[in-house]
């Protein structure tokens, strides 16, 4: 009796062990094979590894774990692509899988509940919005029709600069004014803010610029509630409170603009759309649209246009001038080209740009070393997908680290050096075809405003170099210039560039 019961116990023990082992083996063979990455902590995941400059922290981690790595931010898996080849996998090979955006507080509170393009999830609304951007607002005909605005605004900018000759000037303030004035006139028809008083309310240019800066900053913050959903309610960092307050300010601004545009349309008998808001309002009344647009859509799209085009271009130009001013011989090469191609009797026009390869190279080198969007806006996996033999699960957030790609020594010699020559005679473009240089992203989510952005940056840069001699303030040496960054949705300089310029063209041109 005793022998038989011990046999039963032994048999049960063997069966239990077998079941346990087979469970381990079975679960291992079905466990997704995730890309390598650091071990996550409970609750926080790897958020503890992030500092104030996440793109730099992730760059360092990629040197340990490779160009495709997986981390966990709070409750969500996050994949970082840090090489041109990996960027291509997400933005070209599997672009359809990764063409959505995660839902964030910024998208909800700052963009009318995802009714803009940037934060809209992949689907019919986003697809239609993009079609409107590409075919209605940014067609080459439309961009050409607004050239006179860009010309007038660059002239006004160079005149303002001329008046400041010989004095230390905070460059970004003036460039932001140039890009904001240009984009406002293209999108809204005129500038709705003045140096002193907003026509109806009390909004000044400074106040509006501060609102835009706050928008860019809040759109790029690492908001704990986005990553650990059960902490959302507490708004631990106070970001959601700030977003709601900012949304109210923008709403007042948008309401004023839309009402004014509608009133003008009512008054004019043979109404012809003059600006992008007119075009968008016309589409709200279009019965043939696949997805109906409403007033919030127009506000969301308008905000995309103003925010997308203003800070990005200004940040880019400030970085370009910061690098050039540290190496005056590069400014010498640029002005040699400008004197040869343009001469000293006129300003640079958009049609000249194709004949200015050195200016183009400076712009590309700036975009390589200081990509304004250091990590492309987050992409979201819509379904499970295999990339390079690894399993990327549905719901994973994907970041493309263009800052890292621009410093990849297998792609660039001496990547820390600012050397525009590296682009001369090379067929590397910035329009999403060359994965080693992706300032505007690539694929379905690529920046729709790249054409306007490129025109504004190249023409402003060429005229700034053509029209003025540049130097640092007297007490400053090139090696003293701090080149640190701050992170947000864009990556500007930590300390604004202060420079002194003198005119270099005949006085009657200013
Ligand atoms: C130097 C100028 C600019 C740079 C560097 C830039 C860069 C970018 C980048 C990197 C993205 C994200 C791509 C991705 O998610 O993969 C983006 C998206 C976007 N940009 Fe730009 N941009 C610039 C100018 C503009 C301008 C002038 C506008 C409009 C007036 C604009 C409107 C947008 C919009 C609406 C999106 C969202 C696209 C989507 O999610 O489908 N950008 N931009």
- Asked whether residue 16 carries a pLDDT value surpassing 70, the answer given is no
Average pLDDT, the chain: 92
Residues 27, 28, 33, 34, CA torsion sign: positive
**Integer Cα distance of 414 and 152 in angstroms:** 40
The DSSP result for 277-325, as a single string, is: HHHHHHHHT-TT-SS---HHHHHHHHHHHHHHHHHHHHHHHHHHHHHHH
pTM of this structure: 0.92
Work out the average pLDDT over 421-448.
97
Pocket of ligand 1, beta carbon within 6 A: 117-118, 130, 304-305, 308-309, 312-313, 316, 372-373, 376-377, 439-441, 445-449, 452-453, 457
Domains and CATH numbers, the chain: 31-509 (1.10.630.10)
Beta bridge partner(s), residue 204:
194
> Which pLDDT belongs to residue 9?
52
Q: Separation of 377 CA from ligand 1 center, angstroms?
A: 9
> Which pLDDT belongs to residue 444?
97
**Structure confidence by residue, pLDDT tens digits, 100-149:** 999 999 999 999 999 999 999 999 999 999 999 999 899 999 999 999 99
**Structure confidence by residue, pLDDT tens digits, 194-209:** 766 545 555 788 889 9
Is the model more confident about 355 or about 204?
A: 355
Of the ranges 18-32, 43-57, 116-130, which one carries the lowest mean pLDDT score?
18-32
Name the percent of the chain lying above pLDDT 90: 86
Q: Are 58 and 401 in contact (CB under 8 A)?
A: yes
Q: Separation of 456 CA from ligand 1 center, angstroms?
A: 14
> Which pLDDT belongs to residue 31?
83
Residue from 112, 150, 308, 376 to probe ligand 1 pocket by mutation (most atoms less than 8 Å from CB) = 308
Residue from 371, 449, 490 to probe ligand 1 pocket by mutation (most atoms less than 8 Å from CB) = 449
Q: Is 459 annotated as a binding residue?
A: no
> Which pLDDT belongs to residue 110?
96
> Which pLDDT belongs to residue 1?
44
């Amino acid at each position: 009796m005793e022998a038989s019961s011990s046999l039963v116990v032994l048999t049960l023990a063997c069966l239990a062990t077998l079941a346990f082992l087979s469970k381990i083996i079975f679960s291992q063979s079905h466990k997704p094979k995730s890309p390598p990455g650091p071990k996550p902590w409970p609750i926080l995941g790897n958020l503890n590894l992030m500092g104030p400059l996440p793109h730099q922290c992730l760059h360092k981690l990629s040197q340990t774990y490779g160009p495709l790595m997986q981390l966990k931010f709070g409750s969500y898996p996050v994949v970082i692509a840090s090489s041109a080849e990996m960027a291509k996998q997400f933005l070209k090979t599997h672009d359809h899988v990764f063409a959505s955006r995660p839902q964030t507080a910024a998208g909800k509170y700052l963009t009318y509940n995802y009714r803009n393009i940037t934060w809209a999830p992949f689907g019919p609304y986003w697809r239609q919005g993009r079609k409107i951007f590409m075919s209605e607002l940014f067609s080459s005909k439309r961009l050409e029709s607004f050239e006179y605005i860009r010309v007038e605004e660059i002239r006004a900018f160079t005149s303002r600069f001329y008046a400041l000759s010989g004095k230390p000037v905070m460059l970004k303030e003036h460039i932001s004014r140039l890009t904001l004035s240009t984009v406002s006139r293209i999108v809204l028809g005129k500038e709705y803010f003045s140096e002193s008083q907003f026509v109806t309310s009390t909004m000044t240019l400074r106040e509006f610029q501060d609102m835009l800066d706050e928008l860019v900053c809040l759109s790029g913050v690492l908001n704990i509630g986005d990553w650990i959903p059960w902490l959302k309610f507490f708004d631990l960092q106070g970001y959601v409170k700030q977003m709601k307050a900012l949304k109210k300010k923008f709403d007042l601004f948008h309401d004023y603009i839309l009402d004014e545009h509608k009133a003008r349309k009512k008054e004019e008998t043979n109404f012809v759309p003059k600006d992008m808001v007119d075009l968008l309002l016309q589409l709200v009344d279009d019965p043939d649209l696949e997805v109906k647009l409403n007033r919030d859509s127009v506000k969301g799209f308008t905000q995309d246009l103003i925010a997308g085009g203003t800070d990005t271009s200004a940040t880019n130009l400030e970085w370009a001038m910061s690098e050039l001013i540290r190496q005056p011989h590069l400014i010498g090469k640029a002005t040699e080209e400008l004197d040869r191609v343009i001469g000293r009797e006129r300003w640079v026009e958009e049609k000249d740009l194709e004949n200015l390869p050195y200016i183009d190279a400076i712009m590309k080198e700036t975009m390589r070393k200081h990509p304004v969007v250091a990590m492309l806006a987050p992409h979201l996996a819509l379904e499970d997908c295999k990339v390079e033999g690894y399993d990327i699960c549905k719901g994973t957030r994907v970041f493309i680290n263009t800052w890292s790609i621009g410093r990849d020594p297998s792609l660039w010699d001496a990547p820390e050096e600012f050397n525009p020559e590296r682009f001369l005679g090379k067929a590397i473009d910035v329009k999403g075809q060359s994965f080693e240089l992706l300032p505007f992203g690539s694929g379905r989510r690529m920046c729709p405003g790249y054409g306007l952005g490129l025109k504004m940056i190249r023409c402003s840069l060429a005229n700034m170099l053509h029209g003025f001699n540049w130097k640092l303030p007297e007490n400053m040496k090139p090696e003293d210039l701090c080149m640190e960054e701050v992170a947000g949705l864009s990556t500007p300089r930590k300390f604004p560039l202060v420079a002194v310029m003198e005119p270099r063209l005949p006085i009657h041109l200013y």
